[in-house]
Structure 1
Amino acid sequence: MIKNQLFKKHLSSWTIESQNELFRKFADYCQTHDIVHSSGILLEELFQRESQGSSLIDEGFALPHVESSNVIKSAVILIRLDEPIVEWNHKDQFVKGVLFLVLKKGETTENLVEIREIMKMLADETVIAGLLNGNQKIVNKLF
Structure 2
Amino acid sequence: MTKFPLSLTLVSTEAGETKVDVLRKIAAVSQTIGLTESKTLLFEALQAREASGNTMIAEDFALPHIESAVVKKSGIVLVRGEKVLWQGTLQAKTIFAILMKTDETTAVKQAVIRLMKCFAYEENLQFIAEKSKEEIEAFLLNQRG
TM-score normalized by the length of structure 1: 0.85
Where does the alignment leave 5 or more consecutive residues of structure 2 unmatched?
none
Q: 1:123 to 1:107 in 2, by over 3 A?
A: same
**Equivalent position SS for 1:6:** coil
How many equivalent pairs are there? 136
The CA deviation string for residues 80-102 of structure 1, in whole angstroms up to 9 with x for no partner, is 12x111x213x211100011011
What corresponds to 2:99 in structure 1? Answer: 102
Instruction: Assess, with a 3 A threshold, how the Cα gap between structure 1 residues 136 and 126 changes in structure 2: closer, same or farther.
Output: farther
* Counterpart residue number, 2:109: 112
SS in 1 for 2:90: coil
Q: Partners in 2 of 1:58 and 1:32 — Cα distance? A: 29
CA contact (8 A) 1:71 1:105 kept: yes
Give the Cα–Cα distance (whole angstroms) in 1 for the partners of residues 129 and 140 of structure 2: 13
> Percent same amino acid among aligned pairs?
30
In structure 2, the residue matched to 1:142 is: 140
Q: Report the alpha carbon displacement of residue 14 of structure 1 after superposing the two structures with TM.
A: 3.0
Shift of 1:138: 5.9
Cα 1:52–1:15 change in 2 (3 A) is: same
Write the distance in 1 (CA, Å) between the matches of 2:99 and 2:114: 15
Task: Say which SS state the counterpart of residue 71 (structure 1) adopts.
Answer: coil
Structure 1, gaps ≥5 residues long: none
- Counterpart residue number, 1:88: 86
- Report matched runs for 1:1-143 at 5 Å: 6-15=5-14, 17-81=17-81, 83-85=82-84, 87-89=85-87, 91-134=88-131, 139=136, 140-142=138-140
TM-score (norm 2): 0.84
